[in-house]
Amino acid sequence: MTRAASHLPPHKCAAMAAINVHGSPFSTASQRVFATLYEKDVDFEFVNVDMRSGEHKKEPFISLNPFGQVPAYQEGDLTLFAAVEANEAKLSKVLDVYETRLSKSKYLGGDQFTLVDLHHLPNIQVLNGTPTKKLFDSRPKLSAWIADVTARPAWSKVLAMQKQ
C-alpha cells in the first residue's frame, strides 16, 4: 500500500492524520467514504490500495479487512475490523448451523450444488487466507463442503481471472 495524500486538499494532508482510509479512488465504496469525510470536514490520510495488482487480497491489507474489500478504516490501533474476534463468535454460531445442516446433506441447500453454495465462495476464499480459517478447520463436515465447492471448475476459472 502506498501513501498518497498529496492530491488531497491541503487541510486534509496532515502527515500523521489520526484516521487512515485505505482504498482506491476508483472504488465506488471508497468514493462514498471519501465524500462523507469531506462533507463532515474530517481530517484523514488516504492510503492507496492498488486493486489491479491484487493488493487488497494480500497482507498487510487483509489484516485491516479480512474480506479483502476497500475501503478499510483505521484510527490508531482500531480498524473497522478490529472486532474480528468478537465477530468470530457470531460466525462460529452460524458455522455450527452449517455443520449440522451438512451432516444431513452434501450441500447447504440439499444434495445438489446451488446458488446457496456458490454465494459463499468469495468469502470462503478470503477467510481461508486469514486466521479465521480455524473456524472452518474445526468442523469436519464444513471443511469437506469447502473442499468440494472450492474445487469446482467454475470457481477455478474465477480465481484464474485474478491472475491475469
pLDDT per residue as tens digits for the range 112-153: 999 999 999 988 998 888 788 999 999 999 999 999 999 999
Q: What is the pTM for the complete model shown?
A: 0.55
E strand or H helix that includes residue 98: helix 84-102
Q: Look up residue 143 and give its DSSP letter.
A: H
User: Could you give all domains of the chain from N- to C-terminal order, each with its CATH number?
Assistant: 2-79 (3.40.30.10), 84-161 (1.20.1050.10)
| Per-residue pLDDT reduced to its tens digit, 59-110 | 999 888 888 888 888 888 777 665 556 678 889 999 999 999 999 999 999 9
Question: Which cell numbers in the block locate residue 74?
Answer: 483505521
For 29-89, give the DSSP string. HHHHHHHHHHHTT---EEEE--TTTTGGGSTTHHHH-TT--S-EEEETTEETTTTHHHHHH
